[in-house]
Amino acid sequence: MVQSLEIDYVALEDMFCMFCGTQILFSEDSPTECPHVLFIATDDGYEYQSDSVKDILPSFDVEDEEENGDYRKFFFQRVKEITGFPAGSFIIESYTPAPSLYGLYLGFSPPSQ
């Protein structure tokens, strides 16, 4: 199971990759990726999926969830249960303040050694 870290209010701020310094989230613009980003997702769906994890990430399609028996689990719960992420990978989760509680999820993998 991949590790996760919840950070308050990042969904409202710009964010930079902690490995290379690339700005990946802009408060006024679409997200961009760097080689360390595995995926960028919100409660509405994926903004980006890297080729290395595209085939193992869960679907946002409700019909697919019902077929797999995952319809009772939130998207993020299903992501955390995935095996197959590169070693050392982790996910940052952030939510906007109430009443929205809109979720933002960023998967990262450290540089290959």
Q: What would the pLDDT profile of 3-60 be if each residue is shown by its tens digit?
A: 888 887 655 578 889 999 999 987 677 788 899 999 998 888 888 999 999 999 988 7
Rounded to 10 degrees, the C-alpha dihedral 57/61/62/66 comes to: -50
Which residues constitute the domain of residue 70?
A: 3-108
Q: Is residue 113 part of a domain?
A: no
Q: Cβ of 84: how many Cβ atoms within 10 Å?
A: 11
Q: Is residue 35 part of a domain?
A: yes
Residue 89 has pLDDT above 90, yes or no: yes
Tell me whether residue 10 is in a domain: yes
Lowest mean pLDDT among 2-6, 55-59, 68-72, 109-113: 68-72
When divided into structural domains, the chain yields a total of: 1
Phi, psi (5° rounding) for residue 81? -85, -10
Measure the CA–CA gap between 99 and 90, rounded to whole angstroms.
27
Q: Is the dihedral of CA 64, 80, 111, 102 positive or negative?
A: positive
